[in-house]
Amino acid sequence: MRHSTQRFPLAGIFLIGAALFGLSLSFAISVGAVSVPIDTVWGVFFNRMGLSDAEPTWSAGRAAIVWEIRFPRALLATMVGAGLAVVGASLQAVTRNPLADPHLLGISSGGAFGAVAALLHTGLFMGLLTVPLMAFLGALMATAMVLGVSRMASATSADRLVLAGVAVSFVIMAGANILIFLGDPRATHTVVFWMLGGLGLAQWSHLAYPLVILLLAGAWLWVQSPKLNAMTIGDETATTLGISVAKFRLSVFVAGALITGVMVAFSGLIGFVGLMVPHIVRMMVGGDYARVLPVSALFGGIFLLCADIAARTLMAPEDIPIGIITGLIGGLFFIGVLARR
């Protein structure tokens, strides 16, 4: 991967991104089986936040739809999209592979395995923390397996590392399918839908977990931007700059596993966000990771918001699993990247 110069002013990109985010958020909350005018959406928001003393002109039912269902769902989509995009960008740096992605490297599959085990077999022995914790452990297990397989097969090149990730992903998904097969048949329908990706279970009480992990792990990755820049040039160059390459690569994988595991726990399997968004962002801001990571987070959130809008409107009133939407778009994008490279 080569560094490229910045194409557009960063401030302008953030302004455009903020405007797109505002429009996407408004539209995501407005559309659905029950359409809600955008002025009502923000009226409910300001009313619930205590920022407006105006008398509500909307029904209690619409207020509940906006505040209890669609706002948490839209915010979860934003966090999941931002997290997956940041992880994808970081993995592309440390593997020097433009096709690296938490889904392709098996990290998402590991998170799914842990979450399925918690939902169908172990039970919520730690309350709401159980599923995110098990998903993180599963993602960490998948990361260790990918690194172990790549070392065993001497797959040090970037493309072979992705192949190792794909192989591990198949093995882990087979294990997850066995867990579903052995689980309670009455619960498997929900789990299968969740494995296709979905944001319909979003609740205000759940949003703190992905938000805290995204802020902490994302901030750590952003602080490591100079090292990520060095890693894109090559291991030898990074070593001459005093970076412990193996240790740093492992730490980035662990941070990526933490973010991915928690996001997967609340959204299910959503692929290709981490593959597509960083590529598009680098076309706008160049290759400096001090710019790539925050802009990837912004546009990752916007992308998943738009994908969720499509998932809820294409076959309304039915919800299409959002993983199907991102998989279709991401698959086409993947083919395009392969053709270019």
Which residues 6+ apart lie within 8 Å of 144 measured at CB?
Answer: none
Mean pLDDT for 229-252 is 85
- The per-residue pLDDT for 89 is 94
Residue 334, pLDDT > 90, answer no
> Which DSSP category does 318 fall into?
S
Tokens of 117: 């085990």
Cα end-to-end distance, the chain, whole Å: 11
Cis bond upstream, residue 37 (ω within 30): no
Q: How confident is the model at residue 159 (pLDDT cuts 50, 70, 90)?
A: low
Q: What is the pLDDT of residues 116-141, one digit of tens each?
A: 888 888 777 777 678 778 888 888 88
Q: How confident is the model at residue 85 (pLDDT cuts 50, 70, 90)?
A: very high
Q: Is 295 helix (H, G, I), strand (E, B) or coil?
A: helix
Q: What is the pLDDT of residues 90-111, one digit of tens each?
A: 999 988 887 788 877 788 888 8
Lowest pLDDT segment from 89-98, 109-118, 181-190: 181-190
Angle between helices 71-95 and 289-313 (to 10 degrees): 140
- On whether the CB atoms of residues 142 and 148 are closer than 8 A, the answer is no
Q: What is the pLDDT of residues 2-61, one digit of tens each?
A: 455 556 788 889 999 999 999 999 999 998 888 888 988 999 898 888 777 777 788 888
**Domain 79-296+322-340 = CATH 1.10.3470.10:** yes
Question: d(Cα 251, Cα 318) in Å, to the nearest integer?
Answer: 41
Q: Is 131 helix (H, G, I), strand (E, B) or coil?
A: helix
Question: d(Cα 7, Cα 301) in Å, to the nearest integer?
Answer: 21
Tokens of 142: 């998948």
Q: How confident is the model at residue 191 (pLDDT cuts 50, 70, 90)?
A: confident
